[in-house]
């Protein structure tokens, strides 16, 4: 008895879909890793602080300033808009109101964009004084402000 089997030869591996499907996952991971490495090398991470002692002292100094303002009866109201900043400062005694303020406007993640503005008082009535500096990054709602008494 003579039987002939027709042998079908399978196509080579590179003509099949499964090997390419399985190779695609590690290939995508390598490309994503390279892209992440390029981004990490080309951008500056401004959030990392080198001098922790200095930062701790600044926090203590800020708390001392807040206590001193409370003792003087100072209250601030800050209105930030995309094109302007309005500062209203109230005090129990008008002699405690400063003539100018030092306004620190800082970006939460980009230290190079931080600014310090010396703002002269624009007048006021009674125990209230107003300041209106121009806002630094028009259209950006991510600024942090910190008013202090001007030197």
pLDDT digits (tens, 9 = 90+) for 81-96: 776 777 777 888 777 7
Nearest Cα neighbor of 103 from 114, 89, 115, 117 is: 117
- The number of beta carbons lying within 10 Å of the beta carbon of residue 106 is 16
- Encoding tokens for residue 24? 């695609």
Q: Which residue has the higher pLDDT, 98 or 141?
A: 98
Q: Is the pLDDT of residue 139 over 50?
A: no
**How far apart are the C-alpha atoms of 78 and 90, rounded to whole Å?**
11
pLDDT in tens, 102-114: 777 777 777 677 7
Q: Give dist(CA 117, CA 129) in Å, integer.
A: 17
Determine the pLDDT at residue 126. 44
Cα gap 100→94, rounded to integer Å? 14
Average pLDDT over residues 8-18: 90
């Amino acid at each position: 008895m003579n039987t002939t089997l027709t042998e079908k030869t399978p196509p080579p591996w590179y003509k099949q879909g499964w090997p390419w499907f399985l190779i695609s996952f590690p290939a995508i991971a390598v490309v994503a890793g390279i892209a992440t490495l390029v981004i990490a090398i080309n951008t500056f991470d401004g959030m990392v602080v080198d001098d922790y002692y200095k930062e701790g002292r600044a926090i203590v100094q800020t708390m001392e300033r807040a206590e001193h303002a409370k003792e003087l009866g100072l209250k601030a109201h800050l209105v930030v808009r995309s094109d302007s900043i309005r500062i209203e400062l109230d005090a129990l005694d008008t002699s405690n109101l400063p003539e100018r303020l030092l306004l620190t406007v800082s970006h939460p993640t980009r230290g190079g964009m931080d600014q310090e503005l010396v703002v002269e008082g624009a007048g006021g009535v009674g125990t209230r004084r107003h300041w209106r500096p121009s806002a630094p990054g028009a259209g950006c709602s991510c600024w942090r402000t910190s008013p202090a008494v001007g030197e």
